[in-house]
């Protein structure tokens, strides 16, 4: 893979996406307001849960805010990259415009996963980061190198898992043509990630860890923040992320063999 070429193309993707989005200023403004209101709403909801009981699943409100911060960052990344690109796969397949992607001398997964970008999602990422910084202060977390490295690794793994899940569902469009509903279900499950894994019953914990590893996505990075994460959990998240990423890639290449293109 020619890395220089891919960086050059990605620079162009960024440029064209920003230019496209900036054509509609009001839309960006509405997205920004929505992101702020959504964060305020989530924190308010969380505070209601903690109103009568200081702890949920062994987590204090201040600690649970870390999960909210990580969730906001991940949701921001979803809105910046996954939502504009991966929902487009369904459109590409239904309308047959995937033809243009497949005939370009560039990796098709790279192209359809990163071509678009929604800048308003950045604000959510920023809001999430600010919330995390605030949590670092109120939870008196010691910011050292190993902590930063582990946080970065676990959050990156979370992004990979989330991306792979979404990409996997979108790929099935090649056979099922319409998969909007499945993506909506995934988004709904993602909301679960706003709460600590321990706050759920045992059966739900198993479900959200094994079948749809949403819990991994926010809980493990949050545990790293609070310094009570175990190494095996971090390793497990890393392994799960790697398996998901490789599987989604293989699945895409396999599915392309069944792509019949839309009729003219």
Partner 1 sequence: MVQNIIDVRNLSKSFNISSKEPGLKGTIKHFFRRQTKSLKIIKDISFEIKEGEIVGFLGANGAGKTTILKMLCGLIYPSSGSILVSGYLPFRRKENFLKNITLIMGQKQQLIWDLPPIESFYLNASIYDLDKFEAKKRIKKLSEMLEIDEELFIPVRKLSLGQRMKSELLAALIHEPNILFLDEPTLGLDINAQRNLRKFLQKYNKETNATICLTSHYMKDITSLCKRVICIQEGAISYDGNLDLLLKKLSPVKEILIVCRSEDDAIKLENSGFTVKNKIKNEITIKIENSSITSSLKTILNNFDIEDLFINEPPIDEIIGKVLIKKDYDI
| Closer of 115 and 194 to partner 1 (Cβ) | 115
Q: How far is the CB of 20 from partner 1 (least distance, A)?
A: 4
Burial letters for 47-61: b for 16+ Cβ neighbours within 10 Å, e otherwise?
eeebeeeeebeebeb
CB of 172 to partner 1, least distance (A): 16
Nearer to partner 1, 49 or 254 (CB): 254
* Residue with smaller CB distance to partner 1, 5 or 137: 5
CB of 258 to partner 1, least distance (A): 8
Which CB contacts under 8 angstroms, 24+ apart, belong to 24-30?
A: 28/119, 28/120
Tokens of 98: 């995937």
CA 55 to chain centre: 27
**Least distance (Å) from partner 1 to the CB of residue 109?**
13
Contact residues toward partner 1 (CB under 8 A) are 2, 5, 8-9, 11-13, 15-16, 19-20, 23-24, 95-97, 99-100, 102-106, 257, 259-261, 263-264
First to last CA, the chain: 33
Q: How far is the CB of 257 from partner 1 (least distance, A)?
A: 6
Nearer of residues 1 and 48 to partner 1, judged by Cβ: 1
With respect to partner 1, which residue has the nearer C-beta, 144 or 264?
264
User: Biggest alpha carbon distance in the chain?
Assistant: 62
Task: Report the nearest approach of partner 1 to the CB of residue 54 (Å).
Answer: 50
Nearer to partner 1, 8 or 137 (CB): 8
CB 234 within 8 A of CB 182: no
E strand or H helix at 249: helix 231-256
Give the Cα separation of 116 and 84 in Å (integer).
6
Calpha distance 104→132 (Å, rounded): 41
């Amino acid at each position: 893979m020619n890395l220089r070429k891919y960086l050059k193309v990605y620079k162009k993707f960024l440029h064209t996406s920003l230019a496209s989005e900036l054509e509609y200023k009001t839309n960006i403004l509405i997205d920004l307001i929505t992101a702020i209101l959504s964060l305020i709403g989530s924190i308010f909801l969380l505070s209601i849960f903690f109103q009568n009981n200081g702890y949920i699943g062994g987590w204090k409100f201040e600690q649970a805010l870390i999960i909210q911060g990580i969730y906001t960052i991940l949701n921001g990344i979803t809105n910046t990259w996954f939502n504009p690109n991966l929902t487009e796969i369904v459109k590409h397949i239904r309308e047959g415009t995937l033809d243009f992607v497949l005939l370009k001398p560039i990796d098709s997964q790279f192209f359809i996963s990163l071509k678009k970008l929604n800048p308003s999602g950045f604000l959510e990422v920023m809001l999430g980061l600010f919330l995390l910084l605030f949590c670092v202060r109120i939870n008196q977390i010691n910011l050292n190198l190993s902590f930063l490295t582990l946080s970065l690794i676990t959050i990156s793994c979370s992004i990979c898992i989330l991306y792979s899940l979404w990409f996997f569902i979108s790929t099935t469009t090649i056979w099922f043509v319409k998969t909007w509903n499945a993506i909506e279900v995934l988004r709904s499950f993602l909301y679960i990630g706003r709460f600590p894994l321990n706050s759920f019953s045992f059966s739900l914990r198993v479900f959200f860890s094994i079948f749809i590893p949403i819990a991994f996505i926010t809980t493990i990075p949050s545990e790293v923040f609070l310094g009570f994460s175990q190494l095996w959990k971090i390793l497990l998240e890393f392994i799960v992320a790697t398996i998901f990423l490789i599987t989604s890639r293989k699945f895409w290449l396999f599915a392309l063999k069944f792509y019949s293109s839309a009729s003219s």
